[in-house]
Amino acid sequence: MEFKTHVYYMRDGVPEEKHIEVGAKTIRAGGTVIFPTETVYGLGADALSDEAAAKIYAAKGRPSDNPLIVHISSIDMLVYLIQEPISEPVKRLIEKFWPGPLTMIFKKSGNVPDSVTAGLDTVAVRMPDHEIAFELIKKSGRPIAAPSANRSGKPSPTRGNHVVSEMVGRVDVIFCGDDSRVGLESTVLDMSGEIPTILRPGGVTKEQLEEVLGAVRVDRGLTEEKETPKAPGMKYAHYAPDAPMYIVKGSVENAARKINELAKAAEAEGKKVGVLATSTNGHLYDTDIVIGFGKSDDLEEIGSNIFHALREIDSMRLDVIFAEAVDEKGIGVAIMNRMKKAAANRIIEV
């Protein structure tokens, strides 16, 4: 179905009041709205409507057995969505991390349609830390189900031009605002069982969660495929560029040496090669195409840039991509999680 998409460009990241009202009206009418958040751009619709959820899946080309995250603007909305009273650990997490890049999973109430949760008895909820997203939810008076606003399987959008180029004609409204601050999707933390469990690493790290909760477990689903995913990104290939991508892990010197060796061999076969690397180490590579994604000692910068870099390097119509690994500490765990998915776990250790 072709949509007449209304695109509203924000001035200094701030929307006009009348445009937010248009977006809110669209949500209430069961339509679809793309909006910026601090993590990535989201593709939203009324989380209480089966018909609206179906439009999200259709716009993304996303399988309907992949659950959606519900975005809220108040604790009253959370209470409406979940089965049990808010526990003390959840209250501590809310106080520390909401609004922000933390999604929590709860046993859902009967108010949440199965289409939003892919038939699961749990619901994933977060409160975004972005003016446009927050006001859109608040003014619509609806919790908004919103996965990332990209075609399924492609890198998540962190810039306005990403969604305009990819999603015009597939949704009703696009708010084209500022660049995403975090640049990685939210951390997903399952609070529905006895031990808090990370289902997806993101903008809030395991170490930060442990400071508030104590023991936090990491789900095996991060490395093993599951038939029934409890969180977005646990079942299907994500973030994949068109060309095959290989991650090279090792010391800076060893990794650069191996990438140059692999690139030279690929070029000898007539292939167009690109390298994804930190700006700190970009000078170490002999290939013509080197895309930097941030300084090696600034994981927050890399996290903010990684999806944009994947899209940029993908636009060059390469035959093969070689990428530096980053340190898997703090937010580096989330960065490498996304990079491994983009590379379909093709990792070379040196």
- Rg of the chain (C-alpha set): 20
What's the token pair of residue 222? 């991060």
Q: What pLDDT was estimated at residue 177?
A: 87
CATH topology assigned to domain 245-349? Rossmann fold (3.40.50)
Q: What pLDDT was estimated at residue 65?
A: 79
Q: Is 223 helix (H, G, I), strand (E, B) or coil?
A: coil
Residues of the chain with CATH 3.90.870.10: 6-222
Query: Among 144, 190, 168, 170, which Cα is nearest to 42's?
Result: 144
What's the token pair of residue 114? 């199965």
- The Cα-based distances of 208 to 102, 194, 294 in angstroms read 11, 19, 23
Residue with tokens 């409160």: 127
Query: Among 234, 238, 220, which Cα is nearest to 118's?
Result: 234
Compute the distance between CA of residue 339 and CA of residue 238 in angstroms, rounded to an integer: 9
| DSSP symbol at 11 | B
Q: Is 7 helix (H, G, I), strand (E, B) or coil?
A: strand
Query: Among 68, 77, 112, 123, which Cα is nearest to 98's?
Result: 77
Q: Most distant CA pair in the chain: distance in Å?
A: 63
How, if at all, do strands 144-145 and 173-176 pair?
unpaired
Compute the distance between CA of residue 170 and CA of residue 275 in angstroms, rounded to an integer: 32
Give the sign of the dihedral formed by CA 295, CA 296, CA 297, CA 300.
positive
Judge whether 155 and 239 are in contact, CB under 8 Å: yes
Transcribe 97-148 into DSSP letters.
Answer: HSSSSEEEEEEBPTTS-HHHHTT-SEEEEE----HHHHHHHHHHTS-EE--B
Compute the distance between CA of residue 215 and CA of residue 235 in angstroms, rounded to an integer: 26
Judge whether 334 and 203 are in contact, CB under 8 Å: yes
Q: What pLDDT was estimated at residue 154?
A: 83
Between CA 163 and CA 40, with CA 59 as vertex, the angle to 5 degrees is 40
pLDDT along the chain (350 residues), means of 10: 85 76 97 97 97 95 86 98 97 98 98 96 97 96 96 89 94 94 96 95 97 94 57 59 95 97 98 97 96 95 96 93 96 95 94
- CATH 3.90.870.10 for the 6-222 domain, yes or no: yes
Residues of the chain with CATH 3.40.50.11030: 245-349
